[in-house]
A and B are shown apart, each in its own frame.
Chain A
Amino acid sequence: MKWINAIIKPFTLDDVREALAEAGVQGMTVTEVKGFGRQHGHTELYRGAEYVVDFLPKLKIEIAVTDEQLERAIEAISTAARTGKIGDGKIFVIDLEQAIRIRTQEVDADAL
């Protein structure tokens, strides 16, 4: 099993969710986050006072998938979240050791 941790542009969320559903992903967790990468921040100007805003709003989506689903899930996110402009985000993949569904006590693939 793999744990996918992806940072995306907020407005691509709906497309990403749909693409992941088509790829067979059954659930996801979304968090509003702020950060910077190559895009850096932007400047804001209020009555002549200029502020550099370093951290830009992004969404972090977290999903657990089986090894077989991984490729399709990555494909789904990369396609749906891609605008081709700087700041589209990143996908991180981590090994996932265990998964348990609390209600039924099912484990691993059955719990996803």
Chain B
Amino acid sequence: MRSKLARLLAAVSAAALIPCSALAQTAAPAKLDSGDTAWMLTATMLVLLMTIPGLALFYGGMVRAKNLLSVLMQCFAITALVTILWVVYGYSLAFDNTGMTAGTTNLHSFIGGLGHGMLAGLTPGSLYQTVPEAVFVMFQMTFAIITPALIVGAIAERMKFSSLLVFTALWFTLVYLPIAHMVWGGPGSFLGDLGVLDFAGGTVVHINAGIAGLVGCLVIGKRRGYPTTAMPPHNLGYTLVGASMLWLGWFGFNAGSAVAANGSAGMAMLVTQIATAAAAIGWTAIEWITHRRASVLGIASGAVAGLVAITPAAGTCGPGGALVLGFVAGVVCFFSATSLKRKFGYDDSLDVFGVHAIAGIVGALLTGPLAAPLLGGFGTVTDLGLQLWIQFKGVSFTVVYSAVLSYAIFKGIAVTMGLRVDEEQEQIGLDLALHEERGYNLS
């Protein structure tokens, strides 16, 4: 078993499916490629667009009119806050590879060092592979931004803004950075060494945030009146525009994760489009069959489920695999966001768990077998069962780690500064109660 793992790891590393550490690469002789750099500059902006305004509008349209600004504000503030934390210590803890050796598990398999705090040593001449390291710092920063922003959907319409900022800082530090390091830290990183395939962050971003969302909505409790009071989305036009921006921005997320303007980026772009379309159709079809209607919220949710599911697989699966992967994700997420939620009665307001965690898990698991050339993939996987098992281990570890740490953080804030606004503020709406502004000053 162990030797099989080692062989697989060697094969996987050879195929360079796991992005290697920036700091390891700066030591190696490398030459800047202007084509790669131009694409990575573009991809970085696309990923930033996913959070502001993509995700902000996607979520903003789904809440009630009195809470629109609160959601936009949360996404925007997280963007600014995480940027600062990323510069001060985030990049270092996620990508510093001091003391790491392939195949050896030590403290630095789980978290990087602080040697690159305040981006120490970064100059215009620093390179990561063939692009400026400054661009790589920015690119990875946009991933660190969107992950905590995703969680906002689970606790929407009832969380204090101050508590959200504290939560974001703690969760980014204690959950996002370690998981990112364990997957993307390079040789010697815990999940990377296991051979877990996660091309663009299905595990790091989506499962991680989705599980935190579920834990968050359980700790903070339901919105007052849920589920007996009607809480329909106030502007599905925003939601569809937001979903469209997510779709567009995701090309930066997935094709950008090749960190080069090459064939891998091109294929990642293609399979992303295919899986997203298949999931949108899958969700809509099953909705049409079970509810006898095709809804705007449904097709937008399906598209996002497809984007999430293809994320870990974008570097290894083929067009046929993307079709299957997307369709399965669309159908499964339809049930997790509708039936599952109602059965258990938790108020995951905007379905962060139902869409991101579930599609993330479906995607992470199927990434294994779909990487095999036997199933049209472009990976080096030959033992489908073994890779599925490795993927399962990666998913399980992330689920448990995120759940335990997220619970501790949410609970800690709940007993100290409190998570929720009071009843009156919730009734008035967070826009007026917390920000003293209205989203709509019509008439």
- Determine the chain A residues whose CB is within 8 A of the CB of B337 once the complex forms: 47-48
- Determine the chain B residues whose CB is within 8 A of the CB of A45 once the complex forms: 291, 293, 295
Query: Looking across the interface, which residue of chain B has its beta carbon closest to that of A45?
Result: B291
Query: Looking across the interface, which residue of chain A has its beta carbon closest to that of B335?
Result: A48
Query: Looking across the interface, which residue of chain A has its beta carbon closest to that of B350?
Result: A47
> Among A47, A51, A52, A53, which residue has its beta carbon within 8 angstroms of that of B338?
A47
- Determine the chain B residues whose CB is within 8 A of the CB of A52 once the complex forms: 230
List residues 285-304 of chain B with CB under 8 A from any CB of chain A. 291, 293, 295, 297-298, 301
- Determine the chain A residues whose CB is within 8 A of the CB of B231 once the complex forms: 49
- Determine the chain A residues whose CB is within 8 A of the CB of B227 once the complex forms: 49
Contact check, A48 vs B297: say whether CB atoms are below 8 A apart: no
Chain A 47-74, CB-CB to B under 8 Å as 1, else 0, gives: 1110111000000000000000000000
Contact check, B233 vs A46: say whether CB atoms are below 8 A apart: yes
- Determine whether A95 belongs to the interface, using a CB cutoff of 8 Å to chain B: no
- For the complex, what is the distance from the CA of A53 to the CA of B342, rounded to whole Å? 20
- Determine whether A97 belongs to the interface, using a CB cutoff of 8 Å to chain B: no
Query: Looking across the interface, which residue of chain A has its beta carbon closest to that of B62?
Result: A46
- Determine whether A110 belongs to the interface, using a CB cutoff of 8 Å to chain B: no
List residues 312-371 of chain B with CB under 8 A from any CB of chain A. 337-339, 341-342, 351, 354
- Determine the chain A residues whose CB is within 8 A of the CB of B351 once the complex forms: 47
Contact check, A49 vs B342: say whether CB atoms are below 8 A apart: yes
- Determine the chain A residues whose CB is within 8 A of the CB of B233 once the complex forms: 46
- For the complex, what is the distance from the CA of A52 to the CA of B230, rounded to whole Å? 8
- Determine whether B232 belongs to the interface, using a CB cutoff of 8 Å to chain A: yes
Contact check, A46 vs B232: say whether CB atoms are below 8 A apart: yes
CB distance from B202 to the nearest CB of A (A): 22
Is the contact region of chain A dominated by helix, strand, or loop, or is it mixed?
Answer: strand
Chain B interface, number of residues (Cβ within 8 angstroms): 18
Contact check, B297 vs A46: say whether CB atoms are below 8 A apart: yes
- Determine the chain A residues whose CB is within 8 A of the CB of B354 once the complex forms: 47
Q: How many A-B residue pairs have CB under 8 A?
A: 30
Chain A interface, number of residues (Cβ within 8 angstroms): 9
- For the complex, what is the distance from the CA of A32 to the CA of B298, rounded to whole Å? 30
Contact check, B297 vs A47: say whether CB atoms are below 8 A apart: yes
- Determine the chain A residues whose CB is within 8 A of the CB of B342 once the complex forms: 48-49
- Determine the chain A residues whose CB is within 8 A of the CB of B297 once the complex forms: 46-47
Scoring A44, A47, A48, A51 by chain B CB atoms within 10 A of each residue's CB, the highest score goes to A47
Query: Looking across the interface, which residue of chain A has its beta carbon closest to that of B355?
Result: A47
- Determine the chain B residues whose CB is within 8 A of the CB of A51 once the complex forms: 230, 232
- Determine the chain B residues whose CB is within 8 A of the CB of A49 once the complex forms: 227, 231, 338, 342
Contact check, A47 vs B230: say whether CB atoms are below 8 A apart: no
Contact check, B232 vs A48: say whether CB atoms are below 8 A apart: no
List residues 198-236 of chain B with CB under 8 A from any CB of chain A. 227, 230-233
- For the complex, what is the distance from the CA of A49 to the CA of B230, rounded to whole Å? 9
CB distance from B339 to the nearest CB of A (A): 7
Scoring A46, A49, A51, A52 by chain B CB atoms within 10 A of each residue's CB, the highest score goes to A46
Contact check, B301 vs A44: say whether CB atoms are below 8 A apart: no
- Determine the chain A residues whose CB is within 8 A of the CB of B291 once the complex forms: 45, 48
- Determine the chain B residues whose CB is within 8 A of the CB of A46 once the complex forms: 232-233, 295, 297
Query: Looking across the interface, which residue of chain A has its beta carbon closest to that of B227?
Result: A49
Q: Which residues of B contact A (CB under 8 A)?
A: 227, 230-233, 291, 293, 295, 297-298, 301, 337-339, 341-342, 351, 354
The 3 nearest A-B residue pairs measured at CB: A48-B338, A51-B230, A47-B337
27 chain-A/chain-B pairs, Cβ below 8 angstroms: A44-B232, A45-B291, A45-B293, A45-B295, A46-B295, A46-B297, A47-B297, A47-B298, A47-B301, A47-B337, A47-B338, A47-B341, A47-B351, A47-B354, A48-B291, A48-B338, A48-B339, A48-B341, A48-B342, A49-B227, A49-B231, A49-B338, A49-B342, A51-B230, A51-B232, A52-B230, A53-B230
